[in-house]
Chains A and B, each alone.
Chain A
Amino acid sequence: MAVSSIPADARVASDIYVTHPEKKLTLYFVVTGFLALLIGALIGPLQALNYAGINVYQYLPFLKSYYQGLTLHGVLNVLVFTTFFISGWLLYVPARSLNMRPNMTFSWAAYWVMLLGLIMAGAAIVTDSSTVLYTFYPPLQGHWAFYLGLALVVVGSLMTAIEVTRMWVVWKRQNPGKVTPLPAYMSLVTWLMWMLASLGVVSEVLFLLLPWSLGWVDTVDSSLARTLFWFTGHPIVYFWLLPAYVAWYGMVPRQTGGDLVSDPLTRLVFLFFLLFSTPVGFHHQFSDPGITPAWKFVHSTLTSLVAVPSLITAFTIGASLEKAGRANGGRGLFGWIPKLNWRSASFTAQVLAMFSFIFGGAGGVVNASFGLNAVIHNTAWVPGHFHLTIGSAVTLTFFGISFWLLPNLTRKKLFSNGLALASTWLWFVGMMIFSFGMHWQGILAVPRRAHISNLAANLQGAYADAAVPQFLTGLGGVILLFSVIFYFIVFFGTLLGKRVHKEEEVEIPWAATHTLPSNIRILKVMDHLFIWWAFAFFIVLAAYGPTLLDFILHPLGVPGWKLW
């Protein structure tokens, strides 16, 4: 396999993709992801209005039901937008960080596999054959094309994971004794974590859902399916979050004129995620009868451990920003904050993302608390929570990245920093109001995923006590609609703009890092990533093994239903 660093004569080529062909592929991944988000995010306000008690679905010819719209919204936003964006972002960052060229044939194949999957799953959803929501719990039974399509999206992402790992192995061989550069390290650990995490849902689809939806078997074990889903379902949120951390650690300090205060601590954070992201899935199943309270408690405890790296991140990033703000003249306890680069839409989006994550993370701790979970499980609190985490912390960060990445990949200018800033602030404010309303509704036991604006006549007024938070939810949704419109004006404006000269090209804003010489040995220990992966695998085996074995040895198949 010919993978090499950039040949000297290529630097004079005028075509931007000759020296970096991975730029074009990254662009395809990122743009496809954002196009999916465009559709998914436009459905969002309709749902927010539903949770404000306003039913617009009766007027929409293109959606058969709220639930079909919800399936589309969930799948396009958290499965398609995320996986496509991340496959581009975390192919590009390690390639540039290691100064290596990916195997373009294999990497493009990953894209086409994912696109095929998207088309299959999309067609299945749009024809209302698979209105099963993005969690697709059996025995609700969708079309086989839905499951196969989503499986292909995951398989494609795993192909990118393999390619990044392969690049790293070659780099290590070519650079004996050297520690992996930080951006590549973070990217690789994310992929290694995902390779372990995805085993659950891939098994669920391959062994349970596909044979069943294809009609080869008559029944499906819904407890086993659910457990395998959440095996992946929890760590997938870190598959979404860690790429955002790559930007927070790897670029944001530079974007405000500073640097990253600690390299080793950053690597430690990512190792924590590698070890503890996956063996915690039972905290989504505290209310399931088939898992013993003892194992639920074990997972609850491990979840407390996976909260630690995010708390460390808050410190390291906060310290890096504070150092930059003070170097820029900030005095007093909070005087460094106004001295940050708030005029940059990219910087602002990512810092607003960090701020919203404070609340998202706090809510997450509630969700993981075994006893307290019973108050909010499956209520509106849950989407309130995740619109702050994936919906704000991750999505706003991806917005922020796109404000420099799209110019970098296309050699064009950001269409309008002002409009980009507006979309960012509107997204942040809209999401905070929306999420506040949903959290509150959840405490009032309003269920999630329910078409509550369309209650039967005898049930009208069932949620009358939630009138105030319902108003807030609706208001948030309307604000978000404007944010989406502004963002995509910037997005298309940038893509369709004029190319600029090579000298004006936006460079990747790599942040410099610090490591004390005494810590170099620790960096080398942390570089043995296959060994750390093995540790992670054994922790998962211990945390999941007995329960999964019990389900597998005592299968209970139930028939499927199509109830929409």
Chain B
Amino acid sequence: MLDHEKINKYEFLWISFFLVMAVGHIVLIAYSLALEGPHIVERATRAKPAELLASGMFASPGVTYLDRPARAEVVGVAQAFAFVPSEVVLEKDTETTFYLTAKDVIHGYQVQGTNINAELIPGEVATFTYSFSKPGEYRLACNQYCGIGHQNMLAKIIVVDDLDAYREEQIATSAPASSDMSEMTSMPADTAADTAAETGADATADSGLMASAAPSNWHDIGATTYSNNCSSCHQGNGQGIAGAFPPLAGHTPDLISVDGGRDYLRNLLLYGMQGQIQVEGNSYNGVMPAWAQLSNEQIASTLNYVLTEWNNEADLPADFALFSAEEIEEVRANPLNGIEVHDMRQQLGL
């Protein structure tokens, strides 16, 4: 029989045991934080997003080495629906301090296989320190719902044994003649990774288009840049997602054909756009991120790519000239915000 004296005794033992466990739990948490605390997310600073992104470290996100190989800094921006930079290359066993912020809504920042898991809140700069001990490719995912493209907000952190060896390998396997190659060590990792992805497939302009000032190899650079940065929204086939992301297939020739269209396209890629637009009978009221952190080569190549791919080439005006890197550089002198770019579009009369 289970009588009350027995029950009282077991009750006392049970509760005592779990009170001890609770205390033990707290002590162990304190101990683990003392040892591994640096990965805990803290606030570096707090300011309006527009201010944070306009100047200082967030104006040019990327990786910087302070003390090769011992210390590095990663400055990153999360926006709907991409991480900037989309690829980070780090050397193993490097104590890396991350400074991260969100441009528009709350995004998550989680690196698979690590303790990196930060909530990026607009206005807040999150910081933490981490050292990767194992080389490999780590998946970075946004793990906080941020809108219709949330599931596509993925990026990579590549950890290598030796950064110099990795970069040499990238140069060796990428196509020649991009004028930005010499600046590879200080550019955001995008550049190195993008050009390295080329496999030497047939590269030069085809079908008699004027290629005088366009980057050589623009097709491959454009395809890779598009795949890494644009396809998660505009899709690999250029069809976009109705109501969320406008199509580029069948549409970009319309943009280049009107007066002012060329100028608009340069500004659009560099500075992004926000505000409602109509494309082929559908209304879009999202946000086109700014891509000023990409190189002039990459932007020019991507524009050329989206203007010619998916049969768009057939609809280009006869006097169409490919974009050159210099043309993109010109526009950097006069930065605009997303609303001003939207005004430019309105004036195209589309």
Contacts and interface: CB of A to CB of B under 8 A. Distances in A.
Interface of A: 65, 67, 133, 137, 139-140, 221-223, 226, 261-262, 265, 285-290, 292-293, 296-297, 300-301, 304-305, 307-308, 311-312, 315-316, 319, 322-323, 326-327, 365, 369-375, 377-379, 444-445, 447-452, 454-459, 462, 514, 516, 554, 556, 558, 561-564
A455 to B, nearest CB: 6
Given A289-B127, A319-B7, A563-B147, A369 B1 contact: no
A378 B22 contact: no
Interface stretch (B116-124, B171-179, B210-218): B116-124
B347 to A, nearest CB: 24
B19 to A, nearest CB: 7
B36 A304 contact: no
Contacts of B260: none
Interface stretch (B157-165, B198-206, B230-238): B230-238
B105 A563 contact: yes
Overall SS of chain B's interface: mixed
Contact of B11 (A262, A289, A377): A262
A456 B105 contact: no
B113 interface: yes
B106 A261 contact: no
Contacts of A516: 4
B152 interface: yes
B32 A65 contact: no
B117 A374 contact: yes
B311 interface: no
Interface in B31-68: 32-33, 36-37, 39-44, 46-49
* Interface size band for B: 35 or more
Given A315-B14, A319-B10, A377-B110, 18 more contacts: A139-B104, A222-B122, A223-B123, A289-B121, A308-B19, A308-B22, A326-B1, A327-B1, A365-B25, A370-B32, A445-B112, A458-B231, A459-B232, A516-B4, A561-B104, A561-B287, A563-B105, A563-B286
30 contacts: A67-B150, A226-B121, A286-B40, A289-B118, A297-B29, A297-B33, A307-B22, A312-B14, A322-B2, A371-B37, A373-B117, A374-B40, A374-B116, A375-B117, A377-B119, A444-B112, A445-B141, A448-B143, A450-B151, A451-B151, A452-B151, A455-B151, A456-B236, A459-B232, A462-B139, A462-B154, A556-B48, A558-B123, A562-B285, A563-B80
Contact of A378 (B110, B121, B231, B232): B110
Nearest to B124: A289
A319 B80 CA distance: 53
B333 interface: no
B15 interface: yes
A457 B151 CA distance: 12
A561 B80 contact: yes
Interface of B: 1-2, 4, 7, 10-11, 14-15, 18-19, 22-23, 25-26, 29-30, 32-33, 36-37, 39-44, 46-49, 80, 104-106, 108, 110-113, 115-119, 121-127, 139, 141-152, 154, 227-228, 231-233, 235-237, 244, 285-287
A563 B44 CA distance: 27
A289 B7 contact: no
Given A293-B37, A308-B22, A319-B10, A222 B2 contact: no
A515 to B, nearest CB: 11
Contact of A370 (B33, B236, B237, B286): B33
B46 A290 contact: yes
Contacts of B143: 377-379, 447-450
